[in-house]
Amino acid sequence: MPPVSHINTIGLFGFGQFGRLIAKHLSPHFQMTVHDPYAIVSETKAYHFDTAAQTANCDLVILAVPVSNIASTCQSIRSHLKPGCIVMDVGSVKMTTAKAMQDHLPADVDLIGTHPLFGPQSATGSLSGRKIALCNIRGQADRPVSVFLRRVLHLQVYSLSPEDHDREAAVTQGLTHLIAKVLTQMGPLPTRMTTVSFDLLLQATAMVRHDPPNVFSAIEEENPFAADVRNEFLALVADLGANLRVTSPEQ
């Protein structure tokens, strides 16, 4: 019996950092086909790669492509999808991808937006206890998918609307990536006179600084609430500095 009723086959579009993580964790449970014209050949051997048409012809189609490519991927696969199949994305923003899938995919396809709140840097071993946001966009596939994520992958599943997701992620991811980017630009940072709290800051930075540029761009540019959070952060930093007494080095 398949781990999710009616889902026997999975088609995975995108074999980047996150696509490879998905393939590793889902291939033991499903018959999986992968499509990525830019995949590194040496890393593809463990999986069955096929054409876009064959990969789209599955019970569940997962779009692990950059957020900016979701719309064009939907357009190119739409004619190959099976009626009643499920299409799911894994992007860091949910309003943009939900709209792209709704706009470009047939009405007889169920749509789910997910945002796994972990990545290759933070989830090196088991996924047990990791968090994933789940936004049901169209249809009722969210129930069985949620059950699978919880019971088989042991993830913590948070069901919420794309807008609620983006509001929270604008703060959690928006601030983390903003701070990490700025600290990286300030480097090399001291490693001797460090406190535990500064070490934690460096760990947080190290965890996201190697994310592909399109992840930063999605988080900061495709989330409609990110600019407000950045502006609030900037204003508070400026305000704090303006109210502090400055001691000159030439005292």
Does 90 help bind a second copy (rule: CB under 8 A)? no
Applying CB under 8 A, the site for a second copy has a residue count of 67
Does 207 help bind a second copy (rule: CB under 8 A)? yes
Sheet holding 48-49, edge to edge: 48-49, 31-35, 9-13, 60-63, 86-89, 110-116, 131-138, 156-159
Please state whether beta strands 131-138 and 110-116 pair in parallel, antiparallel, or not at all (unpaired): antiparallel
Q: Amino acid identity of 66?
A: P
Binds a second copy (CB under 8 A): choice among 178, 212, 214, 215: 178
Does 17 help bind a second copy (rule: CB under 8 A)? no
List the Cα angle 21/89/93 in 5-degree steps: 100
Does 71 help bind a second copy (rule: CB under 8 A)? no
- The dihedral through the CA atoms of 53, 132, 93, 44 has a sign that is negative
Does 186 help bind a second copy (rule: CB under 8 A)? yes
Binds a second copy (CB under 8 A): choice among 2, 3, 139, 224: 224
Does 89 help bind a second copy (rule: CB under 8 A)? no
Concatenating the DSSP letter of every residue in 65-97 gives S-GGGHHHHHHHHGGGPPTT-EEEE--S-SHHH
CB of 116 to a second copy, least distance (A): 10
Element (H, E) at 63: strand 60-63
Does 146 help bind a second copy (rule: CB under 8 A)? no
Does 33 help bind a second copy (rule: CB under 8 A)? no
Does 203 help bind a second copy (rule: CB under 8 A)? yes
The answer to whether the CB of 226 falls within 8 A of the CB of 232 is no
The answer to whether the CB of 64 falls within 8 A of the CB of 88 is no
Positions in the binding site for a second copy (CB under 8 A): 95-96, 99, 115, 117-118, 122, 131, 133, 158, 165, 168-169, 171-173, 175-176, 178-183, 185-186, 189-190, 192-198, 200-201, 203-205, 207-208, 220-227, 230-234, 236-238, 240-241, 244-249, 251
